[in-house]
Structure 1
């Protein structure tokens, strides 16, 4: 389980634009090697958009927990390892033609991306991290 976030950090990050939150998401996932979804008895939370449904992911359990209200009040954050995300979840989402809703806010804003794009962005960020470590 991740350490709790400071409320000021949460407030600042939730105030970022969708593109900025996406960048934060990539950095955080590369750093922590985990993502978070919301689950209830029926399964994982999806958001419906005109172009189809999207699987929701957050960079930290606290951000996911902040969205557990309304229709999602019976949901709880569930961690997903980076290996599970890339090895199992992304291929399953591709088979089911689902996109990803990255870092939804309590206000309902999210950056919707194709799972292949997310995988490429994560791989690129990992490559940059490795080149800096050398």
Structure 2
């Protein structure tokens, strides 16, 4: 069960730098044992940077839901358990040449990393 975040906490975390958002995402994903994406009728929604296609991921349902506005208003947050992420998503995204947009926040630059880098960060934190 997801721990609900109050609006003040949501606002505060949204102001984090991209590096702080990565650390927060890793901590939350390890603690909750799931990662959040947005889906539409075609599957996982994608972002495009100048150089890459990216799958955006979030640490909590509330942050993913906050992105489901405008052109993404028909999208819904979906959690993926960590075992499934490791077993299917990391290699699948790598095979499709899709990067990870780490916890994007509105009006801020976000980190774009490879699926393997995200898995490394998650597994390194899990060992601590």
* Rounded Cα–Cα distance in structure 1 between residues aligned with 2:107 and 2:42: 23
1:33-112 matched pairs, under 5 angstroms: 33-107=33-107, 109-112=109-112
1:18 matched to which residue of 2?
18
- TM superposition score normalised by structure 1: 0.91
Whether the aligned pair in 2 keeps the contact of 1:66 and 1:106 (CA below 8 Å) is no
Q: Report how many residues are paired.
A: 128
Can you give the 5+ residue segments of structure 1 that lack an aligned partner in the other structure? 129-134
* Rounded Cα–Cα distance in structure 2 between residues aligned with 1:109 and 1:10: 18
* Rounded Cα–Cα distance in structure 2 between residues aligned with 1:108 and 1:53: 18
Answer with 1 or 2: which has the greater Rg.
Answer: 1
Root-mean-square deviation (CA, aligned residues, Å) is: 1.1
Can you give the 5+ residue segments of structure 2 that lack an aligned partner in the other structure? none
1:6 matched to which residue of 2?
6
* Rounded Cα–Cα distance in structure 1 between residues aligned with 2:14 and 2:52: 24
* Rounded Cα–Cα distance in structure 2 between residues aligned with 1:44 and 1:74: 12
Q: Which moved more, 1:107-116 or 1:30-39?
A: 107-116
2:120 matched to which residue of 1?
120
